[in-house]
Amino acid sequence: MELKLVIEIKNKINSVDKLKEKAHEVEENYKDCIEISLCSGTGCKAYLPQELYRLMLEELDKNKEKINKKIVVHKTGCLGYCEKGPIIIIYPKELCYLQVKSEDIPEIVEKTIKDEVVERLFYKDDNGALIPKVSDIPFYKYQNRIILINSRMDPRNIDDYIRLGGYQALVKALTAMTPDKVLDEVKKANLRGRGGGGFPAGDKWETTKNAAGEPKYVLVNASEGNPGAFPNRLTIEGNPHSVLEGLILAAYAIGSNQGYIYIKQEYSLAIENINIAIEQAREYGFLGKNILNSGFNFEVKVHKGAGAYVSGESSALNTAIEGKAGEPRLKYIHTAVSGLWGKPTNLNNVETYANVPQIINNGADWFMSIGTKGSAGTKIFSLVGKVKNTGLVEVPMGITLRDIIYKIGGGIKDDKKFKAVQTGGPSGGVIPEHLLDLPVDFDELTKAGSMMGSGGMVVMDEDDCMVNLAYYFIKFLSEESCGKCVPCREGLRQLIYVYERIMEGKGKIEDLKLLEDLALVLEGASLCALGSTAQNIVLTTLKYFRQEYEAHIYYHSCPALVCKPLINYEINKEKCTGCMLCVKSCPVNAISGEVKKPHIIDQNTCIKCDACVEACPEKFSAIEKKTGLLGVKL
Amino acid sequence: MKNTKRDIETYKQKIKKRGFRLTETRMVILDVLLKSSGELDAEELFLLSHKKHPKIGMATIYRTLRLLEKEGLVVRVGFYNNKAKYRIEESSGPLAEKPDIRPSKSGLDKKKFTGDAGYPLVTRYEGNLEDYKNVERINTIQNQLSQWLGELSKIKREKELALEDVIKDFGKVDKIVSYHENQRSNLIQILLDVQNEYRWLPKHVLLYVSSKLNIPLTDIYSIASFYKSFNLEPRGKYTIVVCTGTACHVRRSMYLLQRIANVLGIKHGDTTGNYKFTLETVNCLGCCALGPVMVLNNKYYSNPSTKQLEKLFSDLD
């Protein structure tokens, strides 16, 4: 027992020197060694990274005798380039292997030991030239990663984080700065909330700090429910300590002794990693009583959210942590003044907290030098949809959408035509092609009718129907609406009715005015942002893609061939060879025909399930979708 | 048509007597009807009267005709080519004695509203007998259907009860509750852990939790039904999760969902009859590069085809 206590005390870091010592010690450990980073984030989970990791260790074990250098394998969090996953990066040469399969592992290990490279796994650019170095790959080249620095660390190892400069900010703040000074630095850096609205974090902290009432609470909002957005999830999975450090710094600045991390229960890996991080931080003395001998106490609890999108709203999140149904309330009094259990509560997004250690370490001026005047720093986006390079990107604010989509994203998949990009999840809007040169920051996106949101960026091509997309988001919001206020509950439902009418070809041109009116009511009268931002998607699609709505209404046609009631599946008689494959695949027996004779689809029975398209061999592609009054694609 | 003028005067008086206003439009329509030699249908009436008074529309015609017919000033004669024809009622004997049925100024006279104002309240059915037979047939089918549905829900409930019976040991629940310090504020966490244990929230377990934490069962249900993660019905052994996040949506996840539904024969949110599979949707799984994605048994599948699905499902026991 005594021995354990001694070890515990020995492990505790309580001064700047001790932290430096620790960092040096870790660095010494890694000196002259080859580091292999294997991406094990959620994006690569489908490729079974554990299996690759196991194989890698086995291979290394087999070749024990040949190894003359120390080799370390990191199971890292998401490395970002999900499209080409799983990724292996080998340091110090920064060699990047893409789309690694289990068969490749022996060769990689063998060549790495011999200090050689596996050329066939390198990135090939359009001209066929090989790019071995990770920072030269276009996907990474145009990014500016200050938060996603997890490529050389195991998220479950605090030492790795310390080696990368972790907890230096905390030690600096607690030993050399007063809480007010920390707050001033964050305020000076103009750090804006990364969760959506872009409210200055410093101002929020100050309100909480000055509000009457004890104790004060600090919360992390990791209730990321946006369909198609996952920056928070991967930030916590890849580098939980950065969020934790930011949270402790915020608590120090505000004067809070208790923090909560609200995280969706579906994010099992993130929950696991943050729990481990909390344990390790406690062991090192960054959490608990009398942190770094400064007299400051702080504890963190993880609260698993049970899956309600609306619980990501600030007042709803507070009630959810109290163990009640997470419904929002009117915010005459902000949660910063009266939040959790009626006490002053500061709530920020995961990414906001992850920025704080960087600001304290490098100063507000450095932070201000990145990004634009109004929006400093970087922003993490999940670049998904119809782009060539899907993945997690961190870009400086002010970069244009075109740069993100074409330089980092590599352009549109299958070289189709770009149609629109959707930012901000269900609360955001769509941005059409003529606005692609828009600089990405909080204010510019809002001006265009969309918003930053928590970092979803979905790219759409000519095959996507904007009416259907708006319907999809409205339906999502309606399902997630808590039903407390009438405009949101009923307004969204009415919007759905109108959209369904239009998508069935029964819409009238007056319906467009009705959509606009309903959207404006939602904006003006809803209780929380879930309802009030629903107008973005309606108004932007109406504004930029009105002709598509009109095609649905006037010509009963869906130009993108998405809306089921308006499309027909027909078999091209010239292309059909009569192979009977589609006949067998049809779940409702709507296709009739004989062998070697063109088949016919009975339009009355067809449920438009797309099964026949899947069944028809690609070389024939005899099944065609048609739309419009005369079955002609417009 | 020689004494038109006098005629109009008598009809005007009749209308006034009944207590209705003599509006311009009514006058015009009455005039047209009186002047016409034969019977008119509503459309003809509209065309003739619209010329005289531009404010008259089809609705005015119908409204006025209904009023006049009710008061017995106009009769409906015949029904040709799907159009009713109207002509003015010539005999004005008993009509004059009809009482004023509108409420008097002194207040409502209830007696006058009891239905004996002179017009029938019930219309007799005059269709052919076949319709009656059809109705009978529909009734028997409906009865049969509701009986089957009742049986089905009975079977389902029995299965639920059988599944509930499996859980008799509350030791695990005790552990979970005490891990969360017996606190009400940790209710969501407790329920999540209970669900992790049993895959769903059986009623008697919830009752047990409510007595243990000393909170009403309704409170527990209010939370269990608010949050999406909680299942109040038994789940299949395997859960199939299909991502319908935006990225997967634009890559046509609905077709994948439809394929799985075709193979399993259930809608999303449902469980197969043998409690083997539950089909669920989720908003984002975070691996958008693979979209559309399906998760089964912690394994990720990128856009599996019908054949792959069939094999996958049949391989599981």
- Per CB-CB distance under 8 Å, the chain B contacts of A420 are none
Q: What is the pLDDT of residues A370-426, one digit of tens each?
A: 988 888 899 999 898 899 888 889 999 999 999 999 999 988 988 899 999 998 888
Number of residues that this document lists for chain A? 634
**What single letter denotes the amino acid at residue A99?**
Q
CA A129 to chain B, closest CA, distance in angstroms equals 24
Q: Which of B246, B298, B299 to mutate to test the interface with A (most CBs of A within 10 A)?
A: B246
Q: For A229, which of B184, B282, B284 is closest by C-beta distance?
A: B284
Give B245 or B122, the one with higher predicted confidence: B245
Question: How many other CB atoms are found less than 10 A from the CB of residue A289?
Answer: 11
- Per CB-CB distance under 8 Å, the chain B contacts of A99 are none
What SS3 state is found at A308? Answer: coil
- Cα(B95)–Cα(A459) distance, integer angstroms: 76
CA A297 to chain B, closest CA, distance in angstroms equals 22
Q: What are phi and psi of A120, to 5 degrees?
A: -70, -15
Residue contact B184–A233, C-beta within 8 A: no
Residue B1, pLDDT score:
44
Mean pLDDT on A537-563: 90
Residue A491: Cβ-neighbour burial (10 angstroms; 0-12, 13-18, 19+): buried
CATH number 3.40.30.10 given to A32-137: yes
Contact (CB, 8 A) for A192 and A453: no
CATH number of residue B263's parent domain: 3.40.30.10
Q: Name the residue of chain A whose CA is nearest to B251's CA.
A: A385
Q: Say yes or no: B10 and B51 in one domain.
A: yes
CA A447 to chain B, closest CA, distance in angstroms equals 23
A631: confidence class by pLDDT, cuts 50, 70, 90: very low
- Per CB-CB distance under 8 Å, the chain A contacts of B288 are 43, 82, 228, 230, 382, 384-385, 390
Residue B195, pLDDT score:
87
Does residue B93 register a pLDDT over 50?
A: no
Domain boundaries A466-554, corresponding CATH code: 1.20.1440.230
Residue contact B192–A323, C-beta within 8 A: no
- Cα(A308)–Cα(A316) distance, integer angstroms: 10
Q: Say yes or no: B13 and B77 in one domain.
A: yes
Q: Say yes or no: B270 and B179 in one domain.
A: no
> Secondary structure of A228-260 in the HEC alphabet?
CCCHHHHHHHHCHHHHHHHHHHHHHHHCCCEEE
Q: Name the residue of chain A whose CA is nearest to B303's CA.
A: A614
Measured CA angle at A6 (ends A4, A10), to 5 deg: 115
The structure's pTM equals 0.78
Task: Name residues 254-313 of chain B within 8 A of A (Cβ).
Answer: 255, 258-259, 262, 282-291, 293, 299-302, 305-306
Question: How many CA atoms lie within 13 Å of A534's alpha carbon, on the beta-carbon side?
Answer: 39
Write down the residue that tokens 């194989």 correspond to. A55
Q: What is the pLDDT of residues A202-230, one digit of tens each?
A: 999 999 999 888 899 999 998 887 787 88
> Secondary structure of chain B in the HEC alphabet?
CCCHHHHHHHHHHHHHHHCCCCCHHHHHHHHHHHHCCCCEEHHHHHHHHHHHCCCCCHHHHHHHHHHHHHCCCEEEEEEECCEEEEEECCCCCHHHHCCCCCCECCECCHHHHCCCCCCCCCCCCCCCHHHHHHHHHHHHHHHHHHHHHHHHHHHHHHHHHHHHHHCCCCHHHHHHHHHCCCCHHHHHHHHHHHHHHHCCCCHHHHHHHHHHHCCCHHHHHHHHHHCCCCCCCCCCCEEEEEECCHHHHHCCHHHHHHHHHHHHCCCCCCECCCCCEEEEEECCCCCHHHCCEEEECCEEEECCCHHHHHHHHHHCC
Residue contact A326–B227, C-beta within 8 A: yes
Domain boundaries, chain A: 32-137, 152-368, 378-461, 466-554, 567-627
Residue contact B247–A326, C-beta within 8 A: no
- Cα(B211)–Cα(B182) distance, integer angstroms: 11
Q: Name the residue of chain A whose CA is nearest to B257's CA.
A: A609
B114: confidence class by pLDDT, cuts 50, 70, 90: very low
Residue B109, pLDDT score:
45
Residue A433, pLDDT score:
92
Chain A contact for B245, CB < 8 A?
yes
Contact (CB, 8 A) for A396 and A369: no
Does residue B96 register a pLDDT over 60?
A: no
CA–centroid distance for A575 within its chain = 43
Q: What is the pLDDT of residues B39-90, one digit of tens each?
A: 788 888 888 887 778 778 888 888 888 888 887 788 887 776 677 888 887 6
Q: For B287, which of A46, A611, A615 is closest by C-beta distance?
A: A46
Q: Name the residue of chain B whose CA is nearest to A264's CA.
A: B229
Residue contact B288–A43, C-beta within 8 A: yes
Q: Say yes or no: B156 and B182 in one domain.
A: no
- Per CB-CB distance under 8 Å, the chain B contacts of A303 are 188-189
What SS3 state is found at A426? Answer: helix
- Cα(B296)–Cα(B252) distance, integer angstroms: 19
User: Residue B232 falls within a domain, yes or no?
Assistant: no
- Cα(A278)–Cα(A408) distance, integer angstroms: 34
- Cα(B30)–Cα(B19) distance, integer angstroms: 17
Mean pLDDT on B203-212: 85
Mean pLDDT on B247-269: 87
Contacts of A360 (CB under 8 A, 6+ apart): A169, A170, A172, A173, A177, A182, A185, A249
A146: confidence class by pLDDT, cuts 50, 70, 90: confident
CA A585 to chain B, closest CA, distance in angstroms equals 8
From residue A176, how far is each of A11, A171, A206, A253, A292 by CA, in Å? 22, 8, 20, 13, 11
Contact (CB, 8 A) for A419 and A345: no
Question: How many other CB atoms are found less than 10 A from the CB of residue A224?
Answer: 32
Burial A496-519 (b: 16+ CB within 10 A, else e): bebbebbbebebeeebbebbeebb
CATH number 2.70.98.90 given to A567-627: no
CA B263 to chain A, closest CA, distance in angstroms equals 9
B265: confidence class by pLDDT, cuts 50, 70, 90: confident
Element (H, E) at A352: helix A350-362
Q: Say yes or no: B153 and B249 in one domain.
A: no
- Cα(A214)–Cα(A256) distance, integer angstroms: 9
A502: confidence class by pLDDT, cuts 50, 70, 90: very high
Tell me the pLDDT of chain B averaged across its residues.
Answer: 78
Contacts of A390 (CB under 8 A, 6+ apart): A82, A83, A383, A384, A409, B247, B288, B289
Q: Which of A50, A98, A266, A454 to mutate to test the interface with B (most CBs of B within 10 A)?
A: A266
Q: Name the residue of chain A whose CA is nearest to B196's CA.
A: A265
User: Residue B294 falls within a domain, yes or no?
Assistant: yes
Q: Say yes or no: B14 and B107 in one domain.
A: yes
Q: How many CB pairs under 8 A join A and B?
A: 144
Mean pLDDT on A575-595: 87
Does residue B94 register a pLDDT over 80?
A: no
> Is this complex's ipTM strictly greater than 0.90?
no
- Of A505, A508, A511, A413, residue with least CA distance to A463: A413
Chain A contact for B187, CB < 8 A?
yes
Q: Which of A45, A414, A463 to mutate to test the interface with B (most CBs of B within 10 A)?
A: A45
A353: confidence class by pLDDT, cuts 50, 70, 90: very high
Chain A contact for B182, CB < 8 A?
no
Tokens encoding B33: 């009807």
User: Residue B271 falls within a domain, yes or no?
Assistant: yes
**What single letter denotes the amino acid at residue A592?**
S
Number of domains observed in the structure of chain B = 4
Does residue A315 register a pLDDT over 80?
A: yes
Residue A526: Cβ-neighbour burial (10 angstroms; 0-12, 13-18, 19+): buried
User: Residue B277 falls within a domain, yes or no?
Assistant: yes
Residue A472, pLDDT score:
92
- Cα(A292)–Cα(A217) distance, integer angstroms: 21
Q: For B192, which of A41, A306, A476 is closest by C-beta distance?
A: A306
Contact (CB, 8 A) for A49 and A102: no
Helical H runs in A534-616?
Answer: 534-544, 546-554, 581-585, 611-615
Q: Say yes or no: B192 and B254 in one domain.
A: no
Contacts of A567 (CB under 8 A, 6+ apart): A558, A561, A608, A625, A626, A627
Q: What are phi and psi of B100, to 5 degrees?
A: -75, 115
Q: What is the pLDDT of residues B29-42, one digit of tens each?
A: 888 888 877 778 88
Report the interhelical angle of B203-213 vs B171-179 (nearest 10°).
40
User: Residue B120 falls within a domain, yes or no?
Assistant: no
DSSP A617-629: -TTT--EEEEEST
Residue contact B191–A227, C-beta within 8 A: no
Edge-to-edge strands of the sheet including A217-222?
A288-291, A296-305, A258-264, A217-222, A345-349
**What single letter denotes the amino acid at residue B2?**
K
Q: In this structure, which CATH number among 3.40.350.10, 2.40.50.100, 3.10.20.600, 3.40.50.1100 belongs to the domain A378-461? A: 3.10.20.600
DSSP A361-400: HH-HHHHHHSB-SSSBSEEEEEEEESBSS-EEEEEETT-B
- Cα(A396)–Cα(A147) distance, integer angstroms: 11
Does residue B229 register a pLDDT over 80?
A: yes
Strand partners, A421: A431, A459
What SS3 state is found at A445? Answer: helix
Q: Say yes or no: B206 and B249 in one domain.
A: no
CA–centroid distance for A570 within its chain = 39
CATH number of residue B85's parent domain: 1.10.10.10
User: Residue B166 falls within a domain, yes or no?
Assistant: no
Strand partners, A131: A123
- Cα(A174)–Cα(A153) distance, integer angstroms: 25
Report the interhelical angle of B42-52 vs B24-35 (nearest 10°).
120
Q: Say yes or no: B243 and B306 in one domain.
A: yes
Residue B299 lies in domain? 238-315
- Cα(A198)–Cα(A529) distance, integer angstroms: 13
Contact (CB, 8 A) for A360 and A169: yes
Architecture of domain A152-368: 3-Layer(aba) Sandwich (3.40)
Does residue B124 register a pLDDT over 50?
A: no
Q: For B262, which of A82, A228, A609 is closest by C-beta distance?
A: A609
Helical H runs in A545-610?
Answer: 546-554, 581-585
Q: Name the residue of chain A whose CA is nearest to B186's CA.
A: A323
C-alpha torsion angle, residues A295, A301, A302, A307 (rounded to 10): -120
Write down the residue that tokens 């770009």 correspond to. A418
Q: Say yes or no: B203 and B287 in one domain.
A: no
